[in-house]
Chains A and B, each alone.
Chain A
Amino acid sequence: MTVEASTQAAPPRPAAPARHRPVFVIALFLALAAVPLAVTLGLPAHWLTLVTRAMIFAIAALSLDLILGVGGLVSFGHAAFIGIGAYATGIMITEGQTEALIILPVLLAACAVFAAVTGAVSLRTRGVAFIMITLAFGQMAYFLAQALSAYGGDDGLTLYEQSTLAGFEPFANRTTFFYVVLAVLAFCHVLVRALVASRFGRVLRAARENATRVTMTGFDVGRVRLVAYVISGMIAGLSGFLLANQTEFVSPAFISWQRSGELIFMVVLGGVGSLHGAILGALAFLIAEDVLSGLTEHWKVIFGPMIVLFVLFTRGGLVGLLGRLTGRRDG
């Protein structure tokens, strides 16, 4: 079972060096924090919603980067976790439970259980087999959501209420919603970065380079990977909670394989393994999609070649490009 090892010379190489440059990250978050101000100064009003949505996907992309970039495990079913988060939120709100303090623990537990079960099976495989087995679980979640006829089935579920948080309504106001999402994104980024820097993260990264050697050193690689997979799934579930509250609608399309594919594209676009690259990638992907689709209905004719040219002429994603532009490429 060494399809990868025998034929693939280079495993997905992290774009950014392990040493990260906080300047970029701080600038990125400052720029994001300034978006509501820019909207009051004349940026089109829908940018507030757009960037909120982009940040929600950035949370999911960030969680994917933890296993894909840092762990070297290409999951092609990551949208399932967004879906579980969104559906758990949607179902509980439909049943009259809007309190986030109750929804969130249930939702995180659901994601953790799904991740633990599917991860325990998937992680016994490597390479292409892992990609396809995660796809299989993603598809199963997709068809399960389609079969939930009590909650909209194929048509999706419209939410008539948003979540409340300890009695407050943080999602009712769009600017407040924006800052809530920004805060969650920042929290997740700090959390994941701390994880990667920890001993746990070092083992995870080392296992990406050479799992056998790490095993010989006395670490249980399978368990470390499973824990990373569960954490990643829970963070993605959190983004599903936010997404359901933003769109006030949940549908099986949230879990389609195209969605999982898009998440991978966001991570690769931004720069694999650098964490803030995943955030950049998600922002770039959704904003480019929005701006281009405003220009022409045939925007994909522009967006498609842009992606192709980007891959052909840049390496290491947006983060790699930024690094070269500022001339501070280390490593």
Chain B
Amino acid sequence: MTTGLLIVQILNGLQLGILLFLVAAGLTLVFGVMDFINLAHGVQYMLGAYLAVTFIGLTGSFLLGLALALAAALLIGLALEFLIFRHLYERDHLDQVLATFGLILLLNQAVKMVWGAAPLSVAVPELLSGNVRLLDGILYPTYRFVLIGAGLAVAALLWFIVEKTRTGMLLRAGASNAPMVSALGVDIRKLFMIVFAFGTMLAGFAGVMAAPILSVEPGMGDNILILAFVVIVVGGIGSIRGAFVGALIVGLVDTLGRSFMNDLLRLFMSAPSARATGAALSSMLIYLVMATVLFVRPEGLLPAKGRS
């Protein structure tokens, strides 16, 4: 285990954490403010990636493609909200889970029909296709740095909106006690629309940004959805700060666990058994973290104020 490798893996962990944060931020708001479990949130991430494939291919420009893909992702999200989700807000959680699971089936398959089942890829924009030299002989792709930077910028913007604007104040109030906000004369439906549009855009953005570094394939949203749920319960439901901290914890623990668990176990195990145990243990690691957090603090690390 060299310092260089450690730095690279920490950066990889940050990058996974940033992607998770973008998906989890929308999920935690929708869950916290609207009390709506949206399993189809992962599908928005997948749609973002597919739309990026199409629009970047059509326009030949990453930025233009990004803008168009975001707009399209927002439109699809709002259409779903209007047609389906708003009829589910009053229903119990199990109904919401069932209906949004149906949507996952539909959209995963629809994506397969439109774009094919084979994994697609997006070229890294030319300007960012180089590497950055970290130490002697250790290079890290520029695009991944940009991704981390863009994610942090979005997180900062989100922090500003949530903490410093009137809409953000309503969001926070909604996450603490939505019926009370409604009773005070705020148009809760409009607030819900804003929250939902917000979440959709963020998940779509994560999808577009991930498209050049991951393979774009049907079902890519399902695994990130489960990780995003882990993030929001670790962080505390309805809390953006919690989602940020939770996402970084999950991203770093998962990445570092996968890279170094093997070496760690080798210290007191034979090579083959270390490999087998390491593989199992490193995959389990984030779930162990989650179970521990939930056991000690069932409301999460940084719960939304006034919720517990």
A and B bound?
yes
Binding site for B on A (CB under 8 A): 1-3, 6-8, 10-13, 74, 121, 124-126, 128-129, 132-133, 135-137, 139-140, 143-144, 146-147, 149, 257-258, 261, 264-265, 268-269, 272, 298-301, 303-308, 310-312
Can you name the residue of chain B whose Cβ is closest to the Cβ of A153?
B276
Given A1-B308, A124-B295, A143-B284; A265-B237 close (CB under 8 Å): no
| A265 contacts B280, C-beta separation under 8 Å | no
B237 near A300: Cβ-Cβ < 8 Å = no
Q: Is the beta-carbon distance between B99 and A298 smaller than 8 angstroms?
A: no
Known: A12-B93, A149-B276, A298-B109. A311 touches B102 (CB 8 A): yes
The 22 sampled A-B contact pairs (Cβ below 8 Å) are A1-B308, A3-B237, A3-B307, A10-B92, A12-B93, A74-B93, A124-B295, A125-B298, A129-B233, A129-B294, A129-B298, A132-B233, A132-B294, A136-B288, A143-B284, A146-B280, A303-B102, A303-B105, A307-B102, A308-B84, A308-B106, A311-B102
Instruction: Give A1's nearest chain B residue, CB to CB.
Output: B298
- Find B94's partner among A12, A307, A308 (CB 8 Å cutoff): A12
Chain A residues, CB < 8 A from B93: 8, 12, 74
Asked whether any CB of chain A lies closer than 8 Å to the CB of B291, the reply is: yes
Enumerate chain B residues within 8 angstroms of A303, measured Cβ to Cβ: 102, 105
Distance (Å) between the CB of A304 and the closest chain B CB?
3
What total of A-B pairs shows CB separation below 8 Å? 138
Given contacts A11-B92, A132-B233, contact A268 B102 (CB under 8 A): no
B68 within 8 A of A: no
* Interface residues of chain B: helix, strand, loop or mixed (majority): helix
Complex CA–CA separation, A265 to B39 (angstroms): 13
Q: In the complex, what residues of B have CB within 8 A of residue A307's CB?
A: 98-99, 101-102, 105
A304 close to B105 (CB less than 8 A): yes
User: With a CB–CB cut-off of 8 A, which chain B residues contact A305?
Assistant: 102, 106
> When chains A and B are docked, how far (Å) is the Cα of A283 from the Cα of B99?
19
Residue of B nearest to A305 (CB): B106
How many Å lie between the Cα of A6 and that of B287 in the bound state?
26
On whether the beta carbons of A132 and B109 are closer than 8 Å, the reply is no
Asked if B113 and A308 make an inter-chain contact with CB atoms under 8 angstroms apart, the answer reads: no
Task: Render B90-111 as a binary contact track against A, CB cut-off 8 A, 1 for contact.
Answer: 0111110111011111111110
Residues B308 and A3 in contact, CB atoms below 8 Å apart: yes
Known A-B contacts A1-B299, A147-B280; A121 and B291 likewise in contact (beta carbons under 8 Å): yes
Report the bound CA distance from A224 to B207 in whole Å.
Answer: 45
Nearest-Cβ distance from residue A289 to partner chain B, whole angstroms: 10
Most buried by A among B99, B178, B222: B99
Q: Which residues of B contact A (CB under 8 A)?
A: 35, 84, 87-88, 91-95, 97-99, 101-110, 112-113, 177-178, 222, 226, 229-230, 233, 237, 276-277, 279-280, 283-284, 287-288, 290-291, 294-295, 298-299, 307-308
Could you say which of A133, A149, A261 contacts B291, with CB atoms under 8 Å apart?
A133
- Are B291 and A147 in contact, with the CB atoms below 8 A? no
By a CB distance below 8 angstroms, the chain A residues around B94 are 12, 74, 264, 268, 272
**B109, B277, B283, B307: which contacts A304 (Cβ < 8 A)?**
B109
Smallest CB gap from B108: residue in A: A300
B84 pairs with A312, CB closer than 8 A: yes
Q: Are A269 and B92 neighbours in the complex by a CB distance under 8 Å?
A: no
Residues of chain A with a CB closer than 8 A to B298's CB: 1, 124-126, 129
Question: Contact: A133 with B290, CB < 8 Å?
Answer: yes
CB neighbours (8 Å) of B276 from chain A are 147, 149
- Given A143-B280, A312-B99, A257:B295 Cβ within 8 A: no
With both chains docked as a complex, state the minimum distance between the C-beta of A309 and any C-beta of chain B, in angstroms. 8
Do A132 and B308 contact each other (CB < 8 Å), given the known contacts A261-B101, A301-B110, A308-B102?
no
Report the Cα distance A268→B283, complex, angstroms. 30
Residue from B103, B106, B108, B291 with most neighbouring chain A CB atoms (10 Å): B291
Per CB-CB distance, the 8 closest pairs between chain A and chain B, nearest first, are A304-B106, A307-B102, A147-B280, A304-B105, A300-B109, A136-B287, A311-B99, A143-B283
Q: Contacts of B226 on A, CB cut-off 8 Å? A: 135, 257
